[in-house]
Chains A and B, each alone.
Chain A
Amino acid sequence: MMHQPTLQRRLAILLLVSVPLIWLVSTGVAAYVAHHEVDELYDTQLTLFARQLLIVNMGEHGDDLPLLPKTKKLIRGGDRGEAEDDDIGLAVWNADGNLLLSDGKGRRFTFDASRRGFYSVRADDGKDEWRLFYLPAPDGTRLVAVGQRQKLRHEVVVKVIEGQLLPWLLGLPVLLLLILWAVRKGLRPLQQVAGELGQRSVLDSTPLSENVPGEVLPMVQALNALFARIAEAMEHERRFTADAAHELRTPLAALQVQAEVMALMPDEAGRQHALQQLQLGIQRATRLLAQLLALSRLDPLQGLLSPQPVDWQQISRDALSDVTTAAAAKDTVLETHWQTSTKAVLPLNGDATLLTLLLRNLLDNAVRYCPAGSRIELLLLADEVVVQDNGPGIEAQWLSRVQERFFRPPGQEMPGSGLGLSIVERIASLHGLQMQLSNRDEGGLRVSLQRAA
């Protein structure tokens, strides 16, 4: 559990990676946009400034340049704001390149009569980069250059970015904590469910509370459905075990009683009778055990292991050979009718051993419950396998119940486990077949196996 990536950790990592990335990109975009805007603003100002300088008629001073002292001195104690004289400059030359007017760093601007428009220039000391705007007079008598340290513009952009970045950087941990808190709070119902499940007893089938967030509800509902199914399965098991115990006690009681009777009987005839009864009881217990084992092996099967094309000829021969002795002892006639070619009978992939067991159970039932001298028919048809007899049939009210485990219609002379038809039905359903029981109009029982619809 500890090594599993938790939702919390995943979210934290996702946030820690994606948020800075998004900020980086958005900062880049912001820087670009800010740069552009600042350039536009300042370039416009420079252009305007240069035009104004051209308009002013300052004569031909040449040698007699008016020089202003620093602004600081001019306003002497007044508020200078954030202004910096050394960051800007202007120069006006006549056509010969004589400086007519300059201010700030303008004296250092280079005269070049061919220059027009904006230039980015590195200053002589190589440190500062300047943005210069050259504007010649229309008559060519003068050239104006105005300029500004690039640093000034960078500073504006940086300040704008910083102003944007700082709250984000400060907000990141807070955001992270908030998200983790929300996740933890959101996952609490899951932990509650886990806690409930952890303390749950195996036999507890009460549903979990469905008072959970929508995301968890499907899981809780699925779990509740599972609990219900498990409870049903366990109840089924419990009933089967109780029934099996009940059914095993009865033949054991019979053996015990008959063994005691045998010891009590004073005469040989009585002892012989008890011995016969004892043997009958042993046969019955053996048969019950075999049926119980068969059923317990069939029960957990989800499907057939390796289905093979079924050879009904072989299966019917094997099943019939197991009951011929019992049938002969009761003068019961066993008949097999192939109403189609042997290859064409109910084509099926399946397990021959199981199908033989199925058929033997049906034939055995017929022999067992039909009076002596009855006629039992095995019909092999293209879409159906039928075992029918001309015995007493099954009372209509019990027809639907005889497949129930351990159920036997009342008034049985013959001992039986009440499991035979359960086994038949289980094997049939494993093969996708459906067992149908009906009483024949002419008397007798008809058990049919058909492909389930």
Chain B
Amino acid sequence: MGKYILKRIFYMLLTFYVVITLTFLSMKLLPGTPFQNAQKLTPTQLNTLKHYYGLDQPVIVQYGKYIWNFIHGDLGTSFQFGNTPVTSLLFQQFPVSLDLGIEAMIIGTIIGILLGIVAGLHHGKTTDWSAMILATFGFSIPSFIFAGILQYCLGVLVQIFPVAGWGGPMTHVLPVTSLAVGVLAEVTIFMRTEMVEVLNQDYIVTAQAKGLTRSAVVFKHAVRNALIPVVTILGPMTAAIITGSVVIEGIFGIPGIGKQFVSSIITNDYPMIMGTTELYSGLFILTILIVDILYGVIDPRIRISGGHS
């Protein structure tokens, strides 16, 4: 197990290094300049600016400096917001996005698991069908359309919730719901498949034959085993939440990283894009690592085969 974890951590660091390098390289290949009204500047002014930001040095030197600073937690300063360090901007916006993402994930996962259990228990019946149809819709319809519908219906037509903003609990409802729908649908479909599979296993028949009550069979034997593989979709879910939050934050005017990311790209704010990209990738890679380790801990079969391979 220890060897397995070490191996996973090594690959995680390798992947992260590749991300950092790729981000740097693509920034170097970027068209356009980071300076506003660059045409109006005289060559001397431009050179002074380039020198100030270290953009006149050879690429390899910039790269080395970049890695060195990165290790020390210095991601440079944003071109967009005066000279605010990227790290402090990220620290300022990340909690908002994290809040939004975690709320959506918790709500989506809990309701999804419950709905999946109910659908799985009524396999082939109306309950199952309706849950699956709802889940397919939730899974397929893009989150930005959901957000639009919710914002229009519950924010504009019937003014229950605020149209935009991020403050009290009421402002959380619409964005969190729009983001949670996708997660909910994915978890429901996954959980239902697992439940159907587990309920057909021999040990369920054994448990029933022993004369256990239905609730004991369902909760002690079926649900517990069906829950294990749900851990594996945590990785793809994190990616979906990251993608989703970029649009949701834009639509509801939430001051998080996603909204910032899009505007950084449009304004060519290199350090900000690099920082956000690295944060997203780091988060994603870390989730995959946690999932791998967690899965090894929960399911002994993985632990054994993982240790040998």
Q: State yes or no: do A and B come from one complex.
A: no
Identify the A interface with B (CB < 8 A).
Answer: none
